[in-house]
């Protein structure tokens, strides 16, 4: 018969001080409370369980608990067990225990780009998918598994990408990752091992993408942008470049889709030089006033690494993404993932696979497409009425818009917004250090503010625009 103390109660690490078992135990408990290692309200193990763990008599522990209750360090109530007294705050202890974080003033409103409407995460549907996935999960799903990811999710992703994004994929070519940064890090490692030394990036984009490539030992020269997207004709003249990172469906942050002729030019360059195109399809599901723009990978699956994630369609906190490398790169990517980390949990993969296969993912995307379009239209209407001189662009798709400002006003508008309690980001933040003339503009996320704050956010924005 198994002793009940072995399966009841919480573990507690203590090193009794010298000076007798009871007194040493009491001082160890006092120290744990003083330093904050035992927080106010924390429940302690039963006297029987702690005595068994420490190899001492149960009466010794019971006496120590009783004395500390009398001193005010602990409390004991019938049915609630023994707990650290609520008024017992850390008294002295190490500098780390006393250290507090500086106060931060948070903005009242935010239009910062980068995340979707988190309040609209489909909790009920996700919970149903979680129950089904956990019920049906095979035992081997709890092991280490294939570094490419669970076959269930790779199968669901391959079907979805082919149907919705025009990607040529089969489960054997899909690699699950924990987001775009993880995928880019893996690709950067593979490119470096293939002796690529430079990866061209668009003249406006995220600086930490350049940082990931730089960490892999890759230089990131600038590829110009205009109203038709990246000027891919210039790739032919960039002699040291062996790959290019692009956002062709909806350039981030300018919002323009890559012109069809330039899409062809990019693929022609890759075929002629043996180069690789890394396609960041970060919000391709969301389009409003245009036909869907398919993936660039569909033009040549052997020269394009396609990367997508659930960060914009569901939530970045899921840490789930996927990539479809060329067939001759799959094993290298899987090896890099297997040797470097195991960051994608099997259970989360099974839940997403069930969520997609059940049709819940498509239903959620369609619902959010309508929601974001309404937000976009409300933003356009507010600007037309209250700031008619501001030109807005990049609004046919995605979750953000670009508001063009008079020359030299970007910094002053952002400062005025901060005074109003509104967080904004300027287009200059996303500019490559080697890019040409800087534009004054704001990158506005209309998808992320909660409904309760949306009207106030729009009012604050319109007040600070010139």
CATH assignment of the domain containing 73: 1.10.10.10
Q: Tens of pLDDT along 20-74?
A: 788 889 999 998 898 888 899 899 999 898 888 888 899 999 999 999 998 889 9
Q: For residue 213, which of 168, 239, 180 has the smallest C-alpha distance? A: 180
Q: How far apart are CA 373 and CA 365, in angstroms?
A: 12
Q: Which residues pair with 274 in a beta bridge?
A: none
Residue 91 — pLDDT band, cuts 50, 70, 90? very low
Q: Are residues 190 and 130 in the same domain?
A: yes
Residue 106 — pLDDT band, cuts 50, 70, 90? confident
> What local confidence, expressed as pLDDT, does residue 86 receive?
84
Q: Are residues 209 and 355 in the same domain?
A: yes
> What local confidence, expressed as pLDDT, does residue 98 receive?
41
**Other residues' Cβ atoms within 10 Å of the Cβ of residue 313:** 19
> What local confidence, expressed as pLDDT, does residue 22 receive?
87
Q: How far apart are CA 405 and CA 318, in angstroms?
A: 36
Q: For residue 113, which of 396, 397, 457, 401 has the smallest C-alpha distance? A: 401
Exposed/middle/buried for 391, CB within 10 Å: 0-12, 13-18, 19+?
Answer: exposed
Task: Report yes or no on 103 lying in a domain.
Answer: no
Task: Report yes or no on 104 lying in a domain.
Answer: no
> What local confidence, expressed as pLDDT, does residue 342 receive?
65
Q: Are residues 237 and 319 in the same domain?
A: yes
Q: How far apart are CA 430 and CA 201, in angstroms?
A: 12
Task: Report yes or no on 68 lying in a domain.
Answer: yes
Task: Report yes or no on 17 lying in a domain.
Answer: yes
Task: Report yes or no on 91 lying in a domain.
Answer: yes
- Number of folded domains in the chain? 3
Q: For residue 64, which of 98, 28, 40, 96 has the smallest C-alpha distance? A: 28
C-alpha 147: how far from chain center: 20
Q: Are residues 282 and 371 in the same domain?
A: no
- The pTM (predicted TM-score) of the whole model is 0.85
Q: Are residues 208 and 274 in the same domain?
A: yes
**What tokens appear for 121 in the block?**
């995460």
Domain final position from 301, 335, 359: 359
Residue 10 — pLDDT band, cuts 50, 70, 90? confident
Task: List all residues 6 or more positions away from 77 whose beta carbon is below 8 Å from its beta carbon.
Answer: none
Question: What is the rounded average pLDDT of the residues 438-465?
Answer: 93
> What local confidence, expressed as pLDDT, does residue 92 receive?
43
Q: How far apart are CA 167 and CA 158, in angstroms?
A: 8
Q: For residue 322, which of 166, 179, 152, 160 has the smallest C-alpha distance? A: 179
The CATH number given to whatever domain includes residue 164 is 3.40.640.10
Question: What is the rounded average pLDDT of the residues 397-407?
Answer: 95
> What local confidence, expressed as pLDDT, does residue 461 receive?
97
- Per the structure, the complete domain to which residue 332 belongs is given by 121-359
Half-sphere exposure of 450 (CA within 13 A, CB side): 7
What is the average pLDDT score of the chain? 90
Determine the straight-line distance between the first and last CA of the chain, rounded to whole angstroms.
78
The helix (H) or strand (E) run that includes residue 423 is strand 422-423
Q: What are phi and psi of 60, to 5 degrees?
A: -65, -45
3-state secondary structure of 313: coil
Task: Report yes or no on 340 lying in a domain.
Answer: yes
Task: Report yes or no on 295 lying in a domain.
Answer: yes
Q: Are residues 164 and 37 in the same domain?
A: no
The CATH number given to whatever domain includes residue 400 is 3.90.1150.10
3-state secondary structure of 444: strand
Residue 209 or 94, more confident: 209
């Amino acid at each position: 018969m198994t002793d009940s103390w072995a399966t009841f109660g919480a573990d507690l690490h203590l090193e009794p001080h010298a000076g007798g078992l009871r007194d040493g135990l009491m001082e160890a408990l006092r120290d744990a409370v003083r330093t904050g290692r035992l927080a106010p309200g924390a429940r302690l193990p039963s006297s029987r369980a702690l005595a068994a763990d420490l190899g001492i008599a149960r009466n010794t522990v019971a006496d120590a608990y009783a004395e500390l209750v009398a001193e005010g360090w602990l409390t004991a109530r019938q049915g609630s067990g023994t707990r650290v007294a609520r008024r017992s705050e850390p008294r002295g202890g190490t500098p780390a225990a006393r250290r507090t974080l500086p106060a931060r003033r948070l903005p009242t409103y935010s239009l910062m780009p980068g995340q979707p409407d988190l309040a609209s995460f489909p909790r009920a549907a996700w919970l149903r998918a979680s129950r089904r996935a956990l019920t049906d999960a095979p035992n081997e799903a709890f092991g280490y598994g294939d570094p490419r990811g669970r076959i269930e999710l790779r199968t669901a992703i391959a079907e979805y990408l082919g149907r919705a994004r025009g990607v040529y994929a089969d489960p054997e070519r899909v690699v699950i990752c924990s987001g775009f940064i993880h995928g880019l890090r893996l690709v950067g490692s593979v490119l470096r091992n293939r002796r690529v030394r430079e990866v061209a990036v668009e003249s406006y984009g995220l600086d930490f993408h350049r940082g990931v490539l730089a960490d892999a030992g890759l230089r990131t020269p600038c590829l110009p942008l205009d109203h038709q997207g990246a000027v891919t004709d210039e790739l032919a003249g960039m002699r040291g470049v062996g790959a290019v990172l692009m956002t062709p469906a909806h350039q981030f942050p300018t919002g323009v889709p890559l012109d069809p002729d330039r899409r062809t030019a990019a693929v022609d360059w890759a075929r002629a030089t043996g180069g690789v195109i890394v396609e960041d399809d970060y919000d391709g599901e969301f389009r409003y006033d245009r036909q869907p723009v398919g993936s660039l990978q569909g033009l040549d699956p052997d020269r394009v690494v396609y990367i997508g994630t659930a960060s914009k369609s569901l939530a970045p906190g899921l840490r789930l993404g996927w990539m479809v490398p060329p067939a001759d790169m799959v094993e290298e990517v899987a090896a890099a993932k297997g040797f470097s980390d195991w960051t994608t949990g099997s259970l989360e993969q099974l839940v997403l696979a069930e969520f997609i296969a059940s049709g819940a993912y498509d239903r959620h995307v369609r619902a959010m497409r309508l929601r974001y379009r309404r937000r976009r239209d409300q933003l356009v209407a507010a600007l037309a009425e209250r700031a008619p001189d501001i030109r807005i662009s990049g609004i046919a798709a995605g979750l953000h818009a670009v508001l063009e400002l008079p020359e030299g006003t970007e910094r002053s508008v952002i400062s005025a917004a901060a005074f109003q309690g509104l967080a904004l980001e300027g287009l200059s933040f996303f500019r490559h250090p080697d890019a040409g003339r800087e534009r004054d503009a704001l990158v506005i996320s209309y998808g992320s503010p909660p409904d309760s704050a949306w009207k106030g956010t729009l009012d604050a924005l319109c007040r600070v625009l010139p």
